Amino acid sequence: MVDYKNLPQNVQMIISTLESAGYEAFVVGGCVRDMLRGVPPKDWDIATSATPLQAKALFSRTVDTGIKHGTITVLLGHTHYEVTTYRIDGEYLDNRRPESVIFSRNIEEDLSRRDFTMNAIAYNQRDGFIDPFNGRGDIKNGIIRCVGVAEHRFAEDALRMLRAVRFAAVTGFSVDGEILHASSKLRQNLKNISPERVREELGKLICAAHPQALELLDTTGLLPFVLQGREFGGHLRKIIAHFKICPVYEPMRLALFLSWAGDECENILRDLRFDNKTIKEVAQYIRFLPLPLPANRYEIKKLLGVFAQESLFENFFVIRAIEQPLQSVEIESIRTQGLNIIEKGECFTLKTLALNGKDLAQMGIAPGKTMGDMLTALLDIVMHDASMNTKSCLESVVYKMGSEPGSR
């Protein structure tokens, strides 16, 4: 049995403070699920019979995180703990959130509103486990089941369909047939969920330890709704095999997941509200995947200039080797040459060019297109011949270019 020696000291203190004041308090949800799976919980959520105002009165530092829905955050040191009053959800009108909540004094009523049985378990030292839906049995048997009727749960909150697949990818559990049937039936409700929430679930799913769960998105028909109305054009089994050997880094996995989309990948990622940095990185990987491999040191430098960062250059060739294993020896040779270029400090960007715009201005070159074209030409010269990247050599080139007819 799990006891308080397995709980962080701050969590013990919050529960004992609430109990000493005459209220019930339990750790609930994901932290209990993870403890039972032998996985260290990332967050600790506490449910209590105390109302938000009653709970606030017991702690010196709190934040009204979602007080309308019963949640306050207790601050202990630098760590935040969500404390939520037992509640019964009102009617769901938007397939996402209840319009209202009713506070309760009964932990089982609170557990009955939750999504999956493995998330509907409460624990404290005094009462042990409160597990009205046999969540512990489902965890032991490795199955994801809904609390109550799956169709009702998904009609309330359509994101739960995607969460079921994500939990399967994280845990390796199988998914109950009722969940799959309800997901197929109600999949269009996923259109009512904000792209940000879909993005969050997709990111966790593709970075999880059991990516074979991705197939469930296809069998239930959820995949086009994840892609914001687009048909999937890749080969899921191939992608799943690639994920099993790909580092757990979201942009790399997104590139493998969307490699079929070409330039459309940017629109997909933008519709899912990914940040600009991620969109740019993924698009770069995908744009260069189908192109011929660099044939010489000069072309390797051009590619280094595109990716700018050593890590992105390396990531690209990891992806390329995964996508094209028959070329893995050649790809590794190019990657090694690229790292050698970086190690030797050879120039492949304007930042490391020995002559800059200020120098050209002092030589009488007007700012604007002419200066830009000249810097680009100088960079091309030094990428062909690294020994040319000195100020004196490049000044000689500039004077020579300036003396040619039509150069100014």
For Cα atoms 173, 174, 176, give the angle at the middle one, nearest 5 degrees.
Answer: 130
Q: In this structure, what token pair is assigned to residue 385? A: 């011949």
CATH superfamily, domain at 144-290 = cca-adding enzyme, domain 2 (1.10.3090.10)
3-state secondary structure of 27: strand
Query: Which residues have a Cβ under 8 Å from the Cβ of 318 and sit 6 or more positions away?
Result: 246, 247, 252
3-state secondary structure of 75: strand
Residue for token pair 């966790």: 204
Q: In this structure, what token pair is assigned to residue 117? A: 């049985």
321 pLDDT more than 60: yes
What class is the 4-132 domain?
A: alpha beta
* Average pLDDT for 314-329: 94
Rounded CA separation 99/94 (Å): 9
Rounded CA separation 14/28 (Å): 13
* Average pLDDT for 122-135: 94
Element (H, E) at 62: strand 62-66
Rounded CA separation 183/297 (Å): 52
132 pLDDT more than 60: yes
Q: Which pLDDT belongs to residue 7?
A: 85
403 pLDDT more than 80: no
Tens-digit pLDDT profile for residues 379-402? 999 999 999 999 999 999 998 886
Q: How far is CA 395 from CA 205, 374, 402, in A?
A: 54, 11, 10
406 pLDDT more than 50: no
pTM here is 0.88
Q: Which pLDDT belongs to residue 1?
A: 43
What is the residue extent of each domain of the chain?
4-132, 144-290, 352-403
Query: Which residue, among 44, 31, 97, 96, has the nearest Cα to 73 in the 3D structure?
Result: 44
Rounded CA separation 36/2 (Å): 8
First-last CA distance in the chain? 83
Q: How confident is the model at residue 5 (pLDDT cuts 50, 70, 90)?
A: low
Strands (E), 77-127: 79-85, 87-89, 101-103, 122-124
